[in-house]
Amino acid sequence: MVFSSLVFLFVYLPAVLLTYYISPAKWRNIVLFLVNMIFYGWGEPVYLLLMMLSIVVDYLLGIGIGKYREKRRVATGMLVASVVWNIGLLFFFKYFDFLLQSLQSVGILRGISPLGFPLPIGISFYTFQKLSYTIDVYRGECKEQKNFIDFSVFVTLFPQLIAGPILQYKDLAEQLSKRVLSMGKMREGIRIFTIGLCKKVLLANSVGKLWDDYRVLEITELSTAGAWIGLLAFCFQIYFDFSGYSDMAIGLGKMLGFDFNINFNYPYISKSVTEFWRRWHISLSSWFRDYLYIPLGGNRKGKTRWMLNILIVWAATGIWHGASFNFLLWGLYYAVLLMIEKLWLLKKLEKLPVFLGHIYALFFIVLGWGIFAIPDATAGIKYLGALFGTTGVIIEPGDIFQMLNYMVLLIALIFASVPLGRQLFHKMPAKAQSVTETVLIMGGLLLSTAYLVDSTYNPFLYFRF
């Protein structure tokens, strides 16, 4: 993984950008499509044919939906075919074995062997992107895409293909055929990409080692303080890992002339769980809102239906993250919290001092990550219990050592989780901003490169989704 990251940074990416920029405008999408295929094939060559077949199916269905939009029954049939095709593929690769093994655990279908197919990288992301296209065309929010290459570029854009953010077709339709390349966009893209690279390599990878130290401990070796230290480390790791990758994708998109929407907006400064989900993985929340929650009726069909819709959406959100009961439980956990807030708690939270809102939100967010982080239900329950003293040990000498060893990093993580640095930067004179930005970009690239060269630890948590 580390070697691949270095090759991508210093060989593949410069070659791609050079080829892309020197190509005539009318050829750039063809170049980009080939680049996307090479990039995906690099990590998952066996599934290139599946990707192409999936693209062809939705391309043809999109044209059909657009052609027969006035014949609602025909258009609806084609939309249903697209939904069945995409969700069917996702279910087959991601959930079939999980469902089969769950049934076998209660004595059903024991004669059938699990398929054991590896999960295609990024299938949860590009499945939702293709669905956004056929649904947007059906709703009349955009025209069907008749250019096969342009549609293929939308589905396979390499900056965000394997780990998001999730792109909605209506947001990108015009950019597929017309986008501007400029030095300003290139500079902005490099800046955003470097921020993301530093988040991922310098922050997420570093604190991830602390979480690894604690998650491998037997529950009898885990103190209350240690359980909290480990879980807080995971909170930082998953945030800087995923937001870092999202920033890199957005930055690379800028370099190629695209404008992607932000995917994270300082989620850990939230004062409620509702606010957290407006700031965390925004593209996923937006997708479920636009393509599931609102079509189900949202909050327009009475309180009981409203609560049911929230339950359905958050069960789906949980399962989207993985074929495991802990993800489903994590989704239902947030469904309950959000229902409580919307029915009763939000108005009370607004009357509290801001710092109490932050404490409340962070407490439940951290507990939520405890459910998310540990797939094994028994181990997860025991770990959550350790947070509240079930092991009988408050603190171990090793916990003090870890805190001292990671103190500087933890301070940096807290600082990077709040917008204070950005606010201070924007108060500087314009010339000082320019100089500081250049120094930080160069320093960040050098430090990140040095880390990648020296380290063998470079996991991407969201590649499994």
First-residue to last-residue Cα distance in the chain: 17
Distances (CA, A) of 330 to 87, 91, 167, 279: 21, 19, 24, 18
Largest CA distance in the chain: 72
The whole-angstrom separation of Cα 30 and Cα 411 is 46
Distances (CA, A) of 287 to 161, 284, 290: 16, 5, 5
The whole-angstrom separation of Cα 161 and Cα 184 is 24
Distances (CA, A) of 351 to 303, 342, 343, 348, 365: 24, 15, 16, 5, 21
Which residues touch 416 (CB under 8 Å, ≥6 apart)? 199, 203, 240
- CA atoms in the 13 A half-sphere facing the CB of 45: 1
- In total, the chain counts a number of residues equal to 465
The whole-angstrom separation of Cα 421 and Cα 72 is 52
The whole-angstrom separation of Cα 315 and Cα 292 is 12
Other beta carbons within 10 angstroms of residue 407's beta carbon come to 10
Q: DSSP for 378-442?
A: HHHHHHHHHHTTTTS-S--HHHHHHHHHTHHHHHHHHHHTSTHHHHHHHTS-HHHHHHHHHHHHH
The whole-angstrom separation of Cα 308 and Cα 339 is 10
Residue at token pair 């819709």: 309
**Known catalytic membership, residue 321:** yes
Distances (CA, A) of 398 to 24, 211, 410: 60, 14, 17
The whole-angstrom separation of Cα 163 and Cα 121 is 8
The whole-angstrom separation of Cα 341 and Cα 347 is 8
Positions marked active-site = 321
